[in-house]
Amino acid sequence: MGEVFGRTELDPKDLKTIDACKTLVGNVFEAIAQRHGNDEAARIFSRYGRRTKREVKLESDVMLLWKCDDMKPNLNVRQRRIPDLCADDLRQRDRS
C-alpha cells in the first residue's frame, strides 16, 4: 500500500487471498480502535455485516407500507389489494 495525499492507497494485489483480506481488515479495525475506541470501531464495522432477522423483517414491512401508500385513495381498492400484497410478501419471505 502506498501513501497518496496523506491517505493509504489500496492495491488490488493486497486482496488476492482471503487471509490477506482478513489481515487488512483487522489492521484497519485495530487502527480505528486505537484512535477512537473499540466500541466506535465495532459500530463502524457493524454496518458491513449480515443483517439480523429483525432488520430484514423491518425492511420488508416498510416496503409493504410503501406499496400500500402508493395505492389510489379508494378504500375499496385498498381492501382488495392489501391481502394480495401481504400474500406476495409472505411468499418472498418463505423463499429467503
Q: pLDDT at position 3, please?
A: 45
pTM above 0.75, yes or no: no
* Cα–Cα distance for residue pair 92/18, rounded to 1 Å: 32
Q: pLDDT at position 64, please?
A: 82
Predicted confidence (pLDDT) at residue 6 exceeds the cutoff of 60: no
* Cα–Cα distance for residue pair 71/7, rounded to 1 Å: 49
Helices marked H in 1-96 — which ranges? 18-36, 38-46, 53-70, 75-95
Residue ranges of domains in the chain? 2-46, 53-95
Instruction: Name residue 34's amino acid.
Output: Q
Cell numbers 425492511: residue: 59
Residues 45-83: tens digit of each pLDDT: 888 877 778 878 888 888 888 777 766 666 666 666 677
